[in-house]
Amino acid sequence: MAASFPVESRNMADHEDPDSFQDFLPTMAARLGTAGLIEELCKGFRLLMDPAKRVITVESLKRNSAAMGVAGLGDEDLVDMVSQGDLNGDGALDQMEFCVLMFRLSPELMEGSGKAMREALETFKWLDEPKTSGFETMAGGAVMAPGASKAYPGKMTLYVFVTCLVASSGGLIFGYDIGISGGITSMNTFLQKFFPKVYYKEKHTLSSNQYCEFDSQLLTTFTSSLYLAALVASFFASAVTRTFGRRISMLGGGIIFLGGAAINGGAKDVAMLIIGRILLGIGVGFASQSVPLYLSEMAPAKLRGMLNIAFQLMITIGIFIANLVNYFTNKIEGGWGWRLGLGLAAVPAIIITVGSLFLPDTPNSLIERGHNEQAMSMLRKIRGTDDIKAEYDDLVVASEDSQVVKHPWSTLLQKKYRPQLCMSLLIPTFQQLTGINVVMFYAPVLFKTLGFGDDASLMSAVITGLVNVVATFVSIITVDKVGRRALFLQGGVQMVISQILVGTLIGIKFGANGQGEITKTSAIFVVVCICVFVSAFAWSWGPLGWLVPSEIFPLEIRSAAQSINVSVNMFFTFVVAQIFLPLLCHLKFGLFYFFAAWEVAMTIFIAFFLPETKNMPIEEMTLVWKKHWFWSRFVNDDTDIEVARRN
């Protein structure tokens, strides 16, 4: 075969085309090194392959050879080329087979290249997992190995940092509500106006069981109605996010949350409170659906964990700010401080609303909606390099796959998506069964139940809120270094220990009848243990519960899958909020053992069933499931989107 075959690359811009592969490959190997040559060949593979099947076929060679500059090859030559390189007999060339073929065509390069090839393959990351298994030996001793993930060019840019910071402010609305709702339900003036029975039980029933003081269905409905609204809203948010983009979904969520804050701040009765919280819930549903997707898609793969956790960081900051607001508004004379606390929810709503007006949309979303030129320009801007063709091509392929998926909800149920679907169901479920949200939005009530005064209970909540923020920074710093699994496992063990300690101490002090006294020393120990629990959650299940589900799905079903994640999260938040006060009344100190048991179960689940996803490009995430001891049985290399085409 004596055809000219220049591989498209900026490294070859000034290279004269050789007359044959025999001259071309050795020249490029001497110039770029073996690893550089392999990378150039893989770029050529991408241009020649069939985008839907991710392999080179005779048909794709005919279609794409002109663009590659391949000259002088007839149909017989193309068939011969494919048959020469087809190692597994499937009539096509995968990436590894293509590179093997190119090296076979140059005896000079093959001579003694085995060591160089091995060294190159230690650092080079393959674009796709090869269809053949294990190591394949080429003529001359060179070895081609199945690789890991693709490494796209690019760096962390100021533009990405600023856009992700603004987008992550969507977490403020969620966090502020968690903190503010727990604080105002411990304020006497708020209880007197809206929940007089709870106030009377607290103040006038001296023999009341401490565990049951705040057990009120109406009070529970007030706190948990937001999460039911967020659950329903997340399904509508999926369609908006996919059709109009992530930015529009964030904008809509901010506006709706702003309306809910206004109604709650001026509430006259419980009905207005609940209507306001429903609007708040819709806003939270839209923000929780779109913000994690936005962050995952804007971030470089190697920094995706750090930037995605910004959403959870903003949630923790929102909680902390709300705790401070509760502490100071409780001191306002006249008893109207709770109105200020509820009304100030408008501030984070304004931040995300105004910020969304200036945010760009993600390259993934732009391509998904047909704005390819804008997407290419955006990729250059956010990656800080002009060498974005590899990533752009993969996004286009992913988008083309997504366009033929007519019904993403039914596609989610396909066998090949079973691993991701299980994670998107179980991780948010387990996240809420840690008991974190009941600790955070019932923290003032919980501390008050344990004998802290009004101000002391609110200040204790401020302390736990601050710990929450600081510990989240630990996750930001470590998640892309130590990985997701290590943080999940360490955090799980730490939560189990702290829950058992809190439950045991409360059991000793209050017993089963809930009519004991807690000393100052014991109270401080309870706060410390709860802070240990909160810190463990803040660097593990808190941020990773949002990060992992948002990064494991392909583009064609990503919006629908994120809706599953958000809806499951909100459903179990609603359920746990509904049952927390009744469970505290009935299980007493055993409630902490209840949550500890769930934490044992979820830690075991992570240890056996969650593969590591750090530094893996989203478009390549299927590789981690193919290599997993359990999930690999569900992921078939030969399956593709044909099933989705028929749905």
> How would residue 45 be classed by pLDDT, with cut points 50, 70 and 90?
confident
Going by C-alpha positions, the residue among 396, 314, 377 that lies closest to residue 347 is 314
Residue 173 has pLDDT above 80, yes or no: yes
Q: Bigger pLDDT: 27 or 540?
A: 540
Going by C-alpha positions, the residue among 190, 229, 199 that lies closest to residue 577 is 229
Return the pLDDT at 581: 74
Chain centroid to CA 375 = 22
- d(CA 592, CA 506) in angstroms, rounded, equals 9
Average pLDDT, the chain: 78
Q: Tokens 């494919």 appear where? A: 82
- d(CA 168, CA 317) in angstroms, rounded, equals 11
Are 216 and 270 in contact by the 8 Å Cβ rule? The answer is: no
Token duo for residue 622: 């299927």
Return the pLDDT at 557: 78
Residue 9 has pLDDT above 50, yes or no: no
The CATH class for the domain spanning 10-144 reads: mainly alpha
Are 581 and 448 in contact by the 8 Å Cβ rule? The answer is: no
- For residue 93, the cross-strand partners are 56
- d(CA 94, CA 6) in angstroms, rounded, equals 19
- d(CA 502, CA 495) in angstroms, rounded, equals 11
Report the predicted TM-score, pTM, of the whole model to 2 decimal places.
Answer: 0.67
> 264: Cβ–Cβ under 8 A, 6 or more apart, which residues?
272, 273, 276, 277, 280, 342, 343, 345
Question: What is the DSSP secondary-structure string of 348-369?
Answer: HHHHHHHHHHHPPPPHHHHHHT
> 483: Cβ–Cβ under 8 A, 6 or more apart, which residues?
612, 614
**Residues recorded for the chain:** 647
Return the pLDDT at 192: 87
- pLDDT digits 0-9 by tens, 60-89: 777 776 555 555 566 777 777 787 777 767
Return the pLDDT at 100: 74
Percent of the chain at pLDDT exceeding 70: 75
- d(CA 349, CA 599) in angstroms, rounded, equals 33
Residue 164 has pLDDT above 60, yes or no: yes
Return the pLDDT at 641: 41
- pLDDT digits 0-9 by tens, 287-346: 988 998 899 889 887 888 888 889 889 999 998 999 899 889 988 888 888 999 999 999
Are 170 and 348 in contact by the 8 Å Cβ rule? The answer is: no
Q: Poorest-confidence range of 447-461, 543-557, 623-637?
A: 447-461
- Summarize the confidence of residues 379-404 as an average pLDDT: 82
Residue 118 has pLDDT above 90, yes or no: no
- d(CA 555, CA 269) in angstroms, rounded, equals 45
- d(CA 71, CA 645) in angstroms, rounded, equals 35
- d(CA 624, CA 418) in angstroms, rounded, equals 13
**Secondary structure of residue 162 in the 3-state scheme:** helix
Q: Bigger pLDDT: 598 or 546?
A: 598
DSSP state, residue 6: P
CA of 549: how far to CAs of 136, 246, 484, 564, 612, in Å?
A: 34, 17, 12, 9, 13
- d(CA 634, CA 609) in angstroms, rounded, equals 13
Return the pLDDT at 639: 45
The 3-state secondary structure of 558-583, one letter per residue:
HHHHHHHHHHHHHHHHHHHHHHHHHH
Query: One-letter amino acid identity for 111?
Result: E
Going by C-alpha positions, the residue among 235, 232, 229 that lies closest to residue 177 is 229
Token duo for residue 630: 């359990």
Query: One-letter amino acid identity for 206?
Result: L
Burial (CB count <10 Å: 0-12, 13-18, 19+), residue 259: middle
Residue 488 has pLDDT above 50, yes or no: yes
- Summarize the confidence of residues 185-204 as an average pLDDT: 78
Residue 282 has pLDDT above 90, yes or no: yes
> How would residue 286 be classed by pLDDT, with cut points 50, 70 and 90?
very high
Domain covering 159-198+220-361+405-633: architecture: Up-down Bundle (1.20)
Using only the alpha carbons of the chain, give its radius of gyration: 28
Return the pLDDT at 219: 75
Are 491 and 543 in contact by the 8 Å Cβ rule? The answer is: no
Burial (CB count <10 Å: 0-12, 13-18, 19+), residue 290: buried
Are 433 and 598 in contact by the 8 Å Cβ rule? The answer is: yes
